[in-house]
Copies of this chain bind each other. A is one copy, B any other.
Amino acid sequence: MIGLDKRKYEELARISKALAHATRLYIIHKLDEQEYCVKELTEMIGADISTVSKHLTILKNAGIIIDEKRGNCVYYKLQCRCVLLMFDCLTNVIDSNKNKMNAI
């Protein structure tokens, strides 16, 4: 895997890694419903607020969500709903696995 190829797959992996965490997938799913601020997400998730803030930073750096400061809070929302394809992909793989299991 050389040159252009390598860079291309590293770029894909960079985004991919940002998606590879249960909490971050949950955040994406929530932000698909509506925008939320850090505090609201923290309450839903039930982790330390600094932890949630870091997850949000990772998603933001990957260009998956964007933030907007309004009043006292920072609101996050999806930058592009195209990321929801991810859920279809993952769900398909899981369903496919289940079917294989049952077929045995």
Residues of A within 8 A of B (CB): 1-2, 5-6, 9-13, 15-17, 19-23, 25-26, 29, 44-46, 62-64, 79-80, 82-83, 85-94, 96-97, 100
Contact = CB atoms under 8 A, between A and B. Distances in A.
Nearest to A30: B1
B82 A92 contact: yes
A45 B1 contact: yes
Contacts of A82: 89, 92-93, 96
B85 A89 contact: yes
A37 to B, nearest CB: 17
A5 B20 contact: no
Nearest to A44: B1
